[in-house]
Chain A
Amino acid sequence: DGGITQSPKYLFRKEGQNVTLSCEQNLNHDAMYWYRQDPGQGLRLIYYSQIVNDFQKGDIAEGYSVSREKKESFPLTVTSAQKNPTAFYLCASSVQGFFEQYFGPGTRLTVT
């Protein structure tokens, strides 16, 4: 059963802590993406990777970091430097860069 998994679905953290969100895909897609969604803001691109061991900053990369050591995995770390980390985080993948994207179920992060 192919798809994208994100875990956990809900995540709660205290301010000042780093937190890593998981994203795994078994679609054999080359490209993977991280988006942040806030109410009324649509989808904003945080980071994207078009190939293993390479990634680029999106529009709102400050306070976030990623790695792409394996084709199937693209974890996102929300660091303590991110000023407003509470949001809905969506991971996506596509066969190649910017073809139709398949989204995971998302992780809702709350930082207090």
Chain B
Amino acid sequence: GQQVMQIPQYQHVQEGEDFTTYCNSSTTLSNIQWYKQRPGGHPVFLIQLVKSGEVKKQKRLTFQFGEAKKNSSLHITATQTTDVGTYFCAGLNSGNTPLVFGKGTRLSVIA
């Protein structure tokens, strides 16, 4: 079945450093979604990417969808302590199959 691999599993950065998490699917995706889960909280939807090569920005966050629609990345510029949490990607195949979540990247920011 479809698999979504996410790396790295953990990332520790100094405040102000950049951070990137990568997501790779074993199959071509119709879209990819990104979620953030703060420690002790629940996942919150960040964004959805649909088009090949799409790039979207939300303030310091930049999301990319690969040309082949099999990979995606989330880049955070100049991390802040408020960025702490686990970032999940979730891929959707065409057809009526469920979202498949990656295992997430846990980001720690050291002030």
Contact = CB atoms under 8 A, between A and B. Distances in A.
Interface of A: 33, 35, 40-45, 48, 50, 58, 90, 92, 97-98, 100-106
Contacts of A58: 98
Interface residues of B, number: 20
A102 B88 contact: no
B104 A42 contact: yes
Contacts of B48: 100
Given A98-B92, A100-B33, A90 B103 contact: no
Contact of B98 (A45, A90, A102): A45
Contacts of B101: 35, 42-44
Contact of A42 (B45, B96, B98, B102): B102
Nearest to A99: B48
Interface string B73-105: 000000000000000101010001011011110
Nearest to A104: B42
A51 to B, nearest CB: 12
B66 interface: no
A106 B45 contact: no
B98 A48 contact: yes
8 contacts: A42-B102, A42-B103, A43-B88, A43-B90, A45-B98, A48-B98, A103-B44, A105-B41
Contacts of B96: 50, 97
Contacts of B92: 98
Contacts of A40: 9, 103
B72 to A, nearest CB: 15
Nearest to A106: B42
A101 B98 contact: no
A24 to B, nearest CB: 15
A105 B42 contact: yes
